[in-house]
Amino acid sequence: MREDVEVSQVKSIIERFKDKILDVKKVQDNQWILITDRDSLRPIVTYIMQSEKFKEAHIATMVGTDERPLRGKMSVTFWINTLTDSMNVFIGVRTYLEEDNLEYDSVSKDVPGANWYEREIYDMLGVVPRGHPDLRRLILPDDWPDNVYPLRKDFKYTESPVSYPNYSFTYTEERSSCAIVPLGPYHVSLDEPAHFKLYVRGEEIVGCDYKGFYSHRGVEKIAESRLTYEQVNFIAERICGICGYTHSTAYCQAIERISKIEVPERAEYIRTLLLEIERIHSHLLWLGVASHLVGFESGFMDAWRIRERIMWLAERLTGNRKTYGMNVIGGVRRDLLDYRKDLVTKTVKELKKEYKEFVDRLTSIKSFIRRCEGIGVLKYDKARAYGVLGPTGRGSGRNIDVRRDHSYAAYKDVDFKVPVYKEGDVLSRALTRIDEVFESIWIIEQVLDSIPGGDVIAEYTEIPQYEEGLGYTEAPRGENVHYVMTGEKNMVYRFRVRAPTYANLQAVPEMLKGYTVADAPLIIASIDPCYSCTERVTIIDVRDCKTMTLDEYEFNMLSVKASKRWF
């Protein structure tokens, strides 16, 4: 194999698997692709994920691409983010599959974090991971017909075939001895629908099954079939209602990397500023929700009052409360004018004071601490196996942060700490977020001090065809990865978005086991899942067929009442 590879991670893999690796490609500065055959995919991915050589490793994203129009095959690529002391790289392990044999050995048995990714390509592309422990549909609606795969290139985005519903939840082995509590599709505490089935024995949760993606909008397919490069950006930021800016930044970075556009420094600083503003408002939102769920209503009001200032600031800076519409490929659209700079300085100063008061109040309330402490514990081993990201991962002792590990925008120029807690319970996730807001304020202060002058947007002429690249940002909830493969006629060939909740939600069943139904809203909320809420819960006891329905208020009150015992 190639001898000139200097990167230690890639080198060690090549040395170990020698002739199993058919080709090595460096797609971007820190992104490598190893091409292998279908049988070696599983051992290589498992080796990278479990190797002691890497400090941390998790699946950054997994992409299945229908490359039949290009080379008559489909490709499956596991992108793994590997961290060592000296170098951090994204390694893509890729195999090509012929159309008449779309099977490969599943890695989910060894790497639980790969579960959803494999179910997704099974659902969307018809690629079959052999020996997958739980091969059900993941994304498409229940009444989607079999053998119709929307991400294949011969499927038109305007089609919408319908058949009969055929989805089934898996039951744990002790089905007869436990009751089932369906949670959702309209969910308890946060945004957007998701359906949890809790298997309970009395109050204790013994198992959990999840069905989500009720609000899957096919952004990837639209991006591939209808939109131009510039337009995808504006759809990409609408993927999330809270951290939209991080999505548009990730997409822009992917394109900028592929076409070697040099973004002006001033634009990089403005992006950093807005990303941190977004993190602050997202974390404040979460702290409010957490306060609400432990029954500390004035804390909820207070957090959201402080947050509103940030929203107003974002409105003045970008033209939208939600920092939408600010990014374009090559830079940002609005400059940080002097009066806006003063505005930021003033707001951040006030925020710092008020936030500190709020945090002091929150952390000195015994019921909040007791309610969160030791609840929903996710140990480091599990966290790493599931590839849990962001504050959820850092709350379980994973020392990861894309801002530091693969620094982008202006993060290489600013100084900040990455808070890590080892306990892995709800409290440590809360504390991680609390600390991060202070760090964000500190980053904003540095950005304001050292922002350079110049243009805010770079012009570009051409985006090369059929090149690939990853764009990544540290969203408020964790690592957010966009994979882009460019195509012809000013359009993207393949666009794949992996938001952090995709990885975090897979670990929720682990967190719920052993705790009570009243803890469930708090535990689910503790990963700050990105989906929303018109909440209704039905509790069904299978033994005597009793059904009772709790509305949002009653269900949340269960959680609130649970904290009353410490008042």
In this chain, which of 51, 84, 320, 363 binds other proteins, going by CB under 8 A? Answer: 320
The yes or no reply on residue 520 touching other proteins (CB under 8 A) is no
CB of 388 to other proteins, least distance (A): 32
**Tokens encoding 467:** 């090149």
Q: What character string, x for contact with other proteins (CB under 8 A) and - otherwise, covers 254-293?
A: ----------------------------------------
Q: Helix, strand, or coil here: 405? A: helix
CB of 278 to other proteins, least distance (A): 17
Shorter beta-carbon distance to other proteins: residue 358 or 502: 358
The yes or no reply on residue 231 touching other proteins (CB under 8 A) is yes
In this chain, which of 17, 234, 438, 566 binds other proteins, going by CB under 8 A? Answer: 234
Supply the angle between the helices 8-17 and 41-50 in degrees, to the nearest 10.
140
Q: Where are the beta strands (DSSP E) in 289-403?
A: 327-328, 331-332
CB of 70 to other proteins, least distance (A): 26
> What residues pair up with 406 in beta bridges, in sequence order?
none
CB of 341 to other proteins, least distance (A): 14
Choices 20-28, 232-240, 396-404, 536-544 (CB under 8 A): range interacting with other proteins: 232-240
Choices 234-242, 492-500, 518-526, 542-550 (CB under 8 A): range interacting with other proteins: 234-242
CB of 14 to other proteins, least distance (A): 42
Residue 141 to residue 164: CA distance in whole angstroms:
10
DSSP per-residue codes, 251-301: HHHHHHHHTT----HHHHHHHHHHHHHHHHHHHHHHHHHHHHHTT-HHHHH
Q: Return the residue matching tokens 């075939």.
A: 161
Residue type, 156: K
CB of 219 to other proteins, least distance (A): 11
Contact predicate 188/558, CB 8 Å: no
Radius of gyration over every alpha carbon of the chain, rounded to an integer in angstroms: 23
In this chain, which of 227, 280, 332, 537 binds other proteins, going by CB under 8 A? Answer: 227
In this chain, which of 145, 161, 241, 319 binds other proteins, going by CB under 8 A? Answer: 319
CB of 564 to other proteins, least distance (A): 24
The yes or no reply on residue 324 touching other proteins (CB under 8 A) is yes
Choices 138-146, 313-321, 369-377, 501-509 (CB under 8 A): range interacting with other proteins: 313-321
CB of 227 to other proteins, least distance (A): 6
CB of 321 to other proteins, least distance (A): 9
Shorter beta-carbon distance to other proteins: residue 81 or 347: 347
Shorter beta-carbon distance to other proteins: residue 305 or 356: 305
Contact predicate 508/527, CB 8 Å: yes
In this chain, which of 99, 142, 262, 315 binds other proteins, going by CB under 8 A? Answer: 315
In this chain, which of 126, 129, 184, 325 binds other proteins, going by CB under 8 A? Answer: 325
Q: Return the residue matching tokens 């979460």.
A: 286
CB of 460 to other proteins, least distance (A): 16
Q: Is 192 left (phi over 0), alpha (psi -120 to 50) or beta?
A: left
Q: Measured in whole angstroms, how far is the alpha carbon of residue 532 from the centre of its chain?
A: 15
Residue 31 to residue 63: CA distance in whole angstroms:
14
**Tokens encoding 429:** 């996730």
The yes or no reply on residue 238 touching other proteins (CB under 8 A) is yes
Residue 484 to residue 497: CA distance in whole angstroms:
9
Q: What single-letter DSSP state applies at residue 144?
A: P
> What residues pair up with 497 in beta bridges, in sequence order?
482
In this chain, which of 98, 143, 230, 262 binds other proteins, going by CB under 8 A? Answer: 230
The yes or no reply on residue 305 touching other proteins (CB under 8 A) is yes
**End-to-end C-alpha distance for the chain, whole angstroms:** 66
Query: Angle at the Cα of 518 (from 517 to 520), degrees rounded to 5?
Result: 65
Residues near other proteins (CB under 8 A): 227, 230-235, 238, 305, 308, 315-320, 324-325, 334
